[in-house]
């Protein structure tokens, strides 16, 4: 009775809080009468303001209605539970913790979990919802960039951006023959066009060095790269007019470590006097399709920090000549790193032609969500087929090839057009100069200014001194001739990329970073890429998915290790224990950053390197994964010790074991089995997310007799499940123990496992195995009752408090989802499909997707085996086909995990020939050809299925999610690895899981894809309803996930790590959970990194760290669901002052993204920071 009273009081209190918050919100949207003296006459602008306010009010009422209904449900649940306990429910009081509520099996077979002691809520400030609602024309409601004068903002907004989606929709893609410029058109000019202002030509020598492709990184370095860089130092010093640009810091730093102090000084001089430019300055030139924004930023920081420390240089211009298509995330990252200009090359030939015809090849690239122009960066698009010499001097490759002096007769390469270059002499210089000038003038006609950029280089060029001489001496003779003849109206010279952009800015009379007059503004991205005909580079979105997945796993581990290491070192310093702490773990972090950075290279994560090179990347990834696990273990060891004085670091015997192991670079992970003996075993659980997390944590143990206690020694309810070696073979001595834990943000939780039978708190999963008519022996054990059914099942369902998922009996495939007890059921079917490749000469390969028509259903040899297991915390369906095992799991957890379906596909197509396996979801959603994919996990890009293009052209990269929607519903597919995705029909989403191709696709690799691995692809499927107050703005250039969707994605990509204490410790020291934050961060904030910065000694950290925060843009227009933790938004304000438990913020200084430039500190309080939606901000932080 007493408990019932408490519950009622608690429910009433929550209700009052909700009503009071509604009152406050209403008060906030009331117009201020004092400000409207002429209240009688309403100008039009005020009416629209009033209309906006009414709409906001409608939305608020609806949100509050939802909050109150959540509260009502919670109160009813609490009351029901209280009554069950008061009546001496079936399980009361038999455990060591009297009154500990336990799961309850309902008559319909589903489970009811007891509500937690404390309520949780989702409270979104209405101001934080306006960002996503703002249409592309109205920017009045954004508080963004308040420092910039409003008039200036409006003036910059007047020019509507060219939306790339609209450009693609308008183009015919007819691939007409353009003459000498095959994919373009004839260019003509009047001879006197340059009489007023002459042409200024900058020839930019470069060498494109792939950190791994046909050879490994190290082999390229020893065979070619070191010679290029050595010759560079010598040859640039021979003539001060010579220039060169370099971009891959990974190679440059390896070379730097091997050269003399004298040579280093020469390099610094060459950089200082402008002869050598470091362009972009990243560790690599990253792929922009599959890479995640954490890794893109991390490799840029690694490169920039190296350059600043060793050469003292800050890159100004971006150079990306080889990534296979370009993402809108890259210009944002470069702009926030304070670069002002960038160059791109691999863009669909039809888009290049259109941009050339409209003189839009140079444009301000703006983010589609940017309310003003703060994200603008000047972008130069190269107009022709390639970045090699035949395709860079002008439209006619036959002529340009004659000015690639590496191809002089007698060399190893020649011109495919059969006209060789001629060395420049006083006898032929006039004729050769005229021929080249004609190309320069024609190319110049495609741009708006009289400044011309002409790259001069190719892959691994300038590796021999003879080539330096051939190019530089012959070009200098041509330049001398141009410059000595004013009647030609041309000035030509060697230049760097920034020399070119500086001259362009000077000619247009503007400050670098501003918009040159008349230059267009472009928003959107440049996927998907085709270099000729219908050869779309959409295969590499999936190629070698095993390594795409492994890279993502390393990324999550590295981020967790960075944060935990920074916190552990700060606490150790604070306690004066830093001499005992393994600070040298910093070298392991540096190595992991560099290996993860190397893997972002556009031939690594893409899956487009030779097999031996792929193995090299895999070995590096695995090596770093093991090392960062060690960093996490060492940090966790220090942080969970109750008495830090007892801390002792032993390299040979780690305090904690790893959560899982991988035998080789191409093995799937195997979870550690915790062996329980007489003594209790402790497990430390790490949640590396910045939000609290209510999750099912599963451990493997060697006995079904197990009790799990929390830190206070109270027993936890446990779901005990069998472990299976195959569909019909139960493992005899491995068992899965699952508990529900509330894990603190960035924190460590301690569990204790004891070998003893606890019938009161242990719930065994019930299992049914359907053999589908196949006569197979089943190996099972008494510990688990398994019902073996020879036939196929009827259709069946799994259910939790949020959803019911139903499956087709014979195939085990997903069929529909519904809300429990609700009338409405949504069709949601899944199906595996097979794509073949063409029978013609051109076939699919590592880069290209060239299917032989639409996909055909996957038909396995035998009907599938289906295993259904159900328990209080999760239920799952495992379906075993010949080439894929599909596991669909429904968590019975209040909060994020329980609101979506978890799907994993273990794929093995090693016996296929020229086949690609796809998974398609079909619904009744009226998506009408529109779908949405993410760019690098940073933003969402709307897509339109274009019938006029071939099937393969409609595939796009999906690093973390894709969704379809209509006015009622949104279906999001979340992914834990980058894969190719499309929506080829109304209401469909499909993803390519793996590709096995027997031939090269003629893009230089010289191999097919035959090294497939057993690969596990992990997904979450989330169905959300649009709330009535919100209209879906289709056709808008901008869309956002909901907060629930963001959280689902983060939890899928950031798994909880459970690390057992090493068994050798007979009497372990007292352990205590580590809760690093005093308050929760707003739930639209993501702690991207807390990265310790390098000290004077390369292998040790300084006292400063980089705090990188991202404020996510989100859509409030989907029904708010309780996330399982207290979630609030704060209009982008975060107080960092007292955020870290036990540590003060000694200093906090905002910096550019890669820490190169200090920014003006925040005027308010020095430790309160403000971010606009979507923005990423970096701070130098010192904790005292």
Which residues is 204 bridged to in the sheet? 455
Token couple for 3: 């408990």
- Most distant pair of Cα atoms in the chain: their distance: 109
Residue among 523, 631, 489 nearest 197 (CA) = 489
Residue among 714, 580, 720 nearest 644 (CA) = 580
Token couple for 890: 């429904």
DSSP label at residue 326:
B
Residue among 883, 994, 1010, 1004 nearest 539 (CA) = 994
Token couple for 525: 């991205």
Question: Kind of pairing, strands 199-208 and 162-163?
Answer: unpaired
Rounded Cα distance between 333 and 1178, Å, is: 12
Rounded Cα distance between 299 and 320, Å, is: 15
Catalytic residue flag (residue 322): yes
Give the Å distances, CA to CA, from 699 to 217, 458, 737, 764, 838.
Answer: 39, 52, 5, 15, 47
Residue among 20, 130, 334 nearest 1084 (CA) = 130
User: CA angle 465-470-475, nearest 5°?
Assistant: 130
Residue among 960, 955, 959, 947 nearest 981 (CA) = 955
Rounded Cα distance between 402 and 435, Å, is: 10
Residue 664 CA, chain-centre distance (Å), reads: 25
Catalytic-labelled residue, pool 128, 298, 322, 758: 322
Residue among 959, 993, 997 nearest 978 (CA) = 959
Dihedral pair phi/psi, residue 1096, rounded to 5°: -60, -45
Rounded Cα distance between 977 and 559, Å, is: 16
Question: Kind of pairing, strands 673-674 and 341-344?
Answer: unpaired
The residues, ordered by sequence, that sit 6+ positions from 533 with a Cβ below 8 Å of its Cβ are 175, 842
End-to-end CA distance of the chain: 50
Dihedral pair phi/psi, residue 780, rounded to 5°: -140, 170
User: CA angle 729-730-732, nearest 5°?
Assistant: 125
Token couple for 35: 């400000």
What length does the chain have?
1184
422: left (phi over 0), alpha (psi -120 to 50) or beta: beta
Rounded Cα distance between 959 and 291, Å, is: 7
Q: How many CA atoms lie within 13 A of 49 on its CB side?
A: 12
Which residues is 674 bridged to in the sheet? 701
Which residues is 876 bridged to in the sheet? 869, 889
Burial (CB < 10 A; 0-12, 13-18, 19+), residue 685, is buried
Rg (CA), the chain: 31
The three-state secondary structure class of 118 is coil
Report helix, strand and coil shares of the chain as percent, to nearest 5.
Answer: 30, 25, 45
Rounded Cα distance between 943 and 1037, Å, is: 9
Helices (runs of H) and strands (runs of E) counted in the chain: 20, 52
Can the peptide bond before residue 528 be classed as cis, meaning omega within 30 degrees of 0?
yes
Token couple for 564: 């935990």
User: Which residues are annotated as catalytic?
Assistant: 322
């Amino acid at each position: 009775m007493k408990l019932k009273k408490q519950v009622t009081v608690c429910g009433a209190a929550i209700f009052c809080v909700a009503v009071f918050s509604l009152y406050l919100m209403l008060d906030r949207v009331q117009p201020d009468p004092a400000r409207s003296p002429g209240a009688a006459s309403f100008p039009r602008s005020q009416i629209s303001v009033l209309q906006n306010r009414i709409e906001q009010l409608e939305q608020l009422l609806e949100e509050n209605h939802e909050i109150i209904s959540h509260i009502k449900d919670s109160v009813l649940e609490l009351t029901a539970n209280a009554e069950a306990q008061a009546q001496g429910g079936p399980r009361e009081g038999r455990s060591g913790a009297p009154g500990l509520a336990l799961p309850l099996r309902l008559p319909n077979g589903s489970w009811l979990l007891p509500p937690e002691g404390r309520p949780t809520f989702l409270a979104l400030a209405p101001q934080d919802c306006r960002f996503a609602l703002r249409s592309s024309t109205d920017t009045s409601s954004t508080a963004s960039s308040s420092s910039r004068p409003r008039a200036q903002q409006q003036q910059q907004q007047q020019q509507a951006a060219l939306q790339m989606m609209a450009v693609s929709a308008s183009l015919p893609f007819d691939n007409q023959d353009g003459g000498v410029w095959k994919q373009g058109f004839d260019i003509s000019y009047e001879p006197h066009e340059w009489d007023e202002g002459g042409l200024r030509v900058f020839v930019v020598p470069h060498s494109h060095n792939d950190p791994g492709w046909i050879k490994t990184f190290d082999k390229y370095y020893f065979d070619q790269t070191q010679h290029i860089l050595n010759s560079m130092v010598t040859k640039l010093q021979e003539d001060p007019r010579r220039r060169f640009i370099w971009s891959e810091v990974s190679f440059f730093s390896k070379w730097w470590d091997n050269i003399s102090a004298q040579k280093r000084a020469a390099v610094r001089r060459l950089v200082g006097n402008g002869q050598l430019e470091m362009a972009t300055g990243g560790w690599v030139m990253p792929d922009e399709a599959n890479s995640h924004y954490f890794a893109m930023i991390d490799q840029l920081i690694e490169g920039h920090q190296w350059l600043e420390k060793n050469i003292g240089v800050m890159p100004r211009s971006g150079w990306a000549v080889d990534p296979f298509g370009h993402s809108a995330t890259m210009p944002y990252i470069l702009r926030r790193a304070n670069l002002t200009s960038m160059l791109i090359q691999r863009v669909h030939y039809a888009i290049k032609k259109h941009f050339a015809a409209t003189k839009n090849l140079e444009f301000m690239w703006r983010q589609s969500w940017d309310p003003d122009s703060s994200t603008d960066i000047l972008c130069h698009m190269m107009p022709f087929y390639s970045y090699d010499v035949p395709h860079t001097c002008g439209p006619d490759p036959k002529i340009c090839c004659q000015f690639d002096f590496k191809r002089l007769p007698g060399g190893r390469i020649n011109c495919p057009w059969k006209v060789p270059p001629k060395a420049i002499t006083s006898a032929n210089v006039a004729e050769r100069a005229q021929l080249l000038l004609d190309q320069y003038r024609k190319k110049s006609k495609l741009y708006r200014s009289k400044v011309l950029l002409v790259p001069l280089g190719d892959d691994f060029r300038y590796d021999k001194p003879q080539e330096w001489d051939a190019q530089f001496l012959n070009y200098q003779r041509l330049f001398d001739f141009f410059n000595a003849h004013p009647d030609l109206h041309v000035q030509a010279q060697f230049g760097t990329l920034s020399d070119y952009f500086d001259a362009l800015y000077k000619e247009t009379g503007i400050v670098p970073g501003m918009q040159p007059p008349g230059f267009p503004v472009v928003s959107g991205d440049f996927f998907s890429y085709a270099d000729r005909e219908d050869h779309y580079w959409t295969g590499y979105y999936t190629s070698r998915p095993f390594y795409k997945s492994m890279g993502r796993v390393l990324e999550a581990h590295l981020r967790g290790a960075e944060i935990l290491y920074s916190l552990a070192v700060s606490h150790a310093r604070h306690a004066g224990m830093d001499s005992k702490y393994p600070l040298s773990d910093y070298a392991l972090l540096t190595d992991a950053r560099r290996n993860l950075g190397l893997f972002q290279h556009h031939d690594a994560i893409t899956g487009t390197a030779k097999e031996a090179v792929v193995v090299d990347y895999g070995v590096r990834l695995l090596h770093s994964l093991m090392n960062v696990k060690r960093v996490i273990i060492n940090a966790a060891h220090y942080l969970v010790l109750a008495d830090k004085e007892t801390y002792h670091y032993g390299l040979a015997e780690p305090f904690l074991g790893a959560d899982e192991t991988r035998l080789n670079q191409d093995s799937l992970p195997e979870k550690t089995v915790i062996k329980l003996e007489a003594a209790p075993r402790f497990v430390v659980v790490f949640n590396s997310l910045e939000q609290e997390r209510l999750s099912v944590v599963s451990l493997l143990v060697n006995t079904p007799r197990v009790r799990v206690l929390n830190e206070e020694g109270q027993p936890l309810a446990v779901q005990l499940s069998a472990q299976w070696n195959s569909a019909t073979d139960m493992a005899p001595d491995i068992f899965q123990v699952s508990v529900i834990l509330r894990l603190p943000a960035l924190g460590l939780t301690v569990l204790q496992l004891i070998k003893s039978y606890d019938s009161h708190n242990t719930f065994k999963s019930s299992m049914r195995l359907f053999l589908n008519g196949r006569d197979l022996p089943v190996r099972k054990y008494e510990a688990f009752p398994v019902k073996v059914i020879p036939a196929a099942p009827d259709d069946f369902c799994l259910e939790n408090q949020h959803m019911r998922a139903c499956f087709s009996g014979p195939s085990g495939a997903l069929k529909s989802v519904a809300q429990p007890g609700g009338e409405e059921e949504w069709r949601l079917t899944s199906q595996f499909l097979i794509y073949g490749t063409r029978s013609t000469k051109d076939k699919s390969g590592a880069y290209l997707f060239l299917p032989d028509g639409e996909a055909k259903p996957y038909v396995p040899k035998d009907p599938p085996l289906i295993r259904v297991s159900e328990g209080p915390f999760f239920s799952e369906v495992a379906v075993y086909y010949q080439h894929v095992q599909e596991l669909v799991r429904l968590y019975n957890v209040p909060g994020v995990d329980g609101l979506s379906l978890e799907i994993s596909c273990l794929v093995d197509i090693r016996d296929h020939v020229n086949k690609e396996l796809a998974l398609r979801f079909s619904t009744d959603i009226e998506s009408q050809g529109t779908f949405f994919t993410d760019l690098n996990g940073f933003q969402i890009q709307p897509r339109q299925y274009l019938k006029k293009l071939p099937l393969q052209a409609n595939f796009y990269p999906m690093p973390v999610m894709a969704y379809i929607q209509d006015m009622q519903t949104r279906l999001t597919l979340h992914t834990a690895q980058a894969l190719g995705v499309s929506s080829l029909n109304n209401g469909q989403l499909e993803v390519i899981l793996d590709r096995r191709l027997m031939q090269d696709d003629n893009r230089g690799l010289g191999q097919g894809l035959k090294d497939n691995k057993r690969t596990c692809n992990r997904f979450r499927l989330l169905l959300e309803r649009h709330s009535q107050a919100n209209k879906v703005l289709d056709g808008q250039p901008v869309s956002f996930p909901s907060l629930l969707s963001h959280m689902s994605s983060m939890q899928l990509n950031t798994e909880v790590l459970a690390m057992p204490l090493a068994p050798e410790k007979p009497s372990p020291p007292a352990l205590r959970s580590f809760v690093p934050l005093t308050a929760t961060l707003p739930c639209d904030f993501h702690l991207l990194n807390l990265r310790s910065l390098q000290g004077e000694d390369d292998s040790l950290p300084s006292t400063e760290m980089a705090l990188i925060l991202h404020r996510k843009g989100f859509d409030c227009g989907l029904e708010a669901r309780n996330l399982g933790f207290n979630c609030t938004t704060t209009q982008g304000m975060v107080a960092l002052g007292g955020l870290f438990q036990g540590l003060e913020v000694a200093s906090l200084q905002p910096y550019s993204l890669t820490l190169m430039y200090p920014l003006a500190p925040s005027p308010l309080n020095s430790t309160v920071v403000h971010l606009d939606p979507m923005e990423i901000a970096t701070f130098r932080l010192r904790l005292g």
